[in-house]
Structure 1
């Protein structure tokens, strides 16, 4: 799709951190225009009162309730959901049903976990509740745009932030058969990964100057990663994931380690990764090790590697809210709408935030 006509964008669950990043990215997107931001809790409030950092990007535009979305379902609509896991699927189903009645062509990218699994039973086994729209699951594909051609399914369930970081390292290792399939992962995320609602572990006196593991070997992103990786590479993997909370607001640093399938030098492995990601605008394979400061606030990911005689380590740095959520969602939406994949996403991060 080309030309100057902008496509209407609707954001569900519009007041969390991921929603705030979606709104920021839409504000700067050359071919998307915000039609509506939906929030039951903030309906009637100005968007810039909830996100003052957006300044006057949307003027006096206000949040609306879900039933009012129908007024904005005309022509072609890009629907982003930043609603919570377990709630997003039902909201999306309601909007799609309404859009179908009105003859509106809607493309969905869901930033929640609700459409990351190919079957409701697998999702329910992880999240412990009935899926909100099992009949829609077959209409969604899940994975990273760097690893998949534009899928036949009309909609996308974007992988989680930790999942994004892990998949960027794991998929090349498995697809190129560089390592064995038993993989250890050590990830550190910023406090925004815990969401906007305050909890004890995001309280500043607790989080500042602190580092700790949580849900070791039991994080719900692990089965998500192994499922997506198997679908993409044909290899089943055993993933031992230990997530950590770090004393910073945004970003993820991930370390993956596995035994080499055969001896390879660091230079050779680095070259294999560079070939694998050649032409992928948002992926940079770096010399040495990547740093969160170099990607925070951007849709870019930096990857580094190290090897010894028997094992490989892959390091991935991303922004959890952008490449790991809102930016990845916009990237997918660009692809599904036939736009330039990089539209609205090439601005570098601030570096010293």
Structure 2
């Protein structure tokens, strides 16, 4: 039997943490060794996620200190962090330091916002706080897996869920239209995008049968999308982003609209996306319009396009917890360890959700 790579999850009791535990349970190359939680340390995993009982009947959440002790038993580690923004960087830095002292090779994929910007000043300007570990920022690459074909860094800062959906829609067009100055993006997300802690915006009577925008042209994912376009080679494109809260629990639907300098035919627009994602097994351009229900619980992104004269529309749907977070993190970790990119991500999703 091939030895599996030990894996640890920081912030393992959140929605993204739970999805990582689910995906790791079926992964042929990784094996969970530590599910770290400061609030649930010592409790069984199935006490928080009953659906995971068959996969983890006896395993318990552990402390960060226990995870550091565990490093003495291994020689490599796949480290996933789903800890909150502002807290993750210091936790990751602490574990990387402990691993270095114990000669443990580590690859990290961080799903918080803490490593999404290569410059700590950019992070501070968006999140209005000092970065928790600026000294290790140069060890992280940022971007959606499909849009970073070559990298050298040992660690990854995964884009946010809105940014993932938006970048998958925007980057091919921005590369094909280098003179394009701006795009307009509307996004609708499910309530799990707000995290596990109860909030007024996730309260059932407020969210059910309701749809509303929030932070129009002022959301913190807006500069993140702009930075992601630059990282992918798309230049300086102004992003005008309006997020919405939708009446469903998981999934994101993004609609991008742009006015081009010259008319573009539908066939040309289709060719741009078909060519860019030709070898991307998780991204598919559809005829017609994509629907959230067809990607929920999967690592797939479905894209639809439309063109009329100088106006183009690109629609993108993903599962915010999978492709937008846990699945994207697994996909990146597969790449960091030179495993098949689809490992652990090809299980069939429910026919209807």
How high is the TM-score relative to the length of structure 1?
Answer: 0.97
* 2:171–2:234 CA contact under 8 A, matched in 1: no
Q: Which residue of 2 aligns with 1:165?
A: 165
Give matches, 1:259-278, under 5 Å.
259-278=259-278
* 1:150–1:336 CA contact under 8 A, matched in 2: no
**1:123-181 Cα distance to aligned partner (Å, 9 max, x none):** 00000111000001000000011111241111000000000011001110111117722
Unpaired segments ≥5 residues, structure 2: none
Q: Which residue of 2 aligns with 1:324?
A: 324
Residue 46 of structure 2 corresponds to residue 48 of structure 1: yes
Give matches, 1:15-164, under 5 Å.
15-73=13-71, 74-164=74-164
Q: How far apart are the structure 1 equivalents of 2:144 and 2:7?
A: 21
C-alpha deviation, 1:231, in angstroms: 2.4
**1:26-78 Cα distance to aligned partner (Å, 9 max, x none):** 00101110000000100000011111111221221101111111222221110
Q: How far apart are the structure 2 equivalents of 1:179 and 1:163?
A: 22
Report SS of the residue matched to 1:180.
coil
Report SS of the residue matched to 1:315.
strand
**1:70-107 Cα distance to aligned partner (Å, 9 max, x none):** 22222111000000000000000000010011110010
Deviates more, 1:171-180 or 1:267-276: 171-180
Report SS of the residue matched to 1:125.
helix
Give matches, 1:165-314, under 5 Å.
165-177=165-177, 180-314=180-314
C-alpha deviation, 1:234, in angstroms: 4.7
Report SS of the residue matched to 2:24.
helix
Report SS of the residue matched to 1:305.
strand
**1:191-237 Cα distance to aligned partner (Å, 9 max, x none):** 00000001111111111100000111111011011012112225101
Q: How far apart are the structure 2 equivalents of 1:274 and 1:184?
A: 22
Let me know the Cα RMSD of the aligned residues: 1.1
C-alpha deviation, 1:267, in angstroms: 2.1
Q: How far apart are the structure 2 equivalents of 1:287 and 1:317?
A: 14
How high is the TM-score relative to the length of structure 2?
Answer: 0.97
Unpaired segments ≥5 residues, structure 1: none
* 2:142–2:231 CA contact under 8 A, matched in 1: no
Q: How far apart are the structure 2 equivalents of 1:234 and 1:272?
A: 14
Q: How far apart are the structure 2 equivalents of 1:298 and 1:261?
A: 36
Q: How far apart are the structure 2 equivalents of 1:126 and 1:256?
A: 23
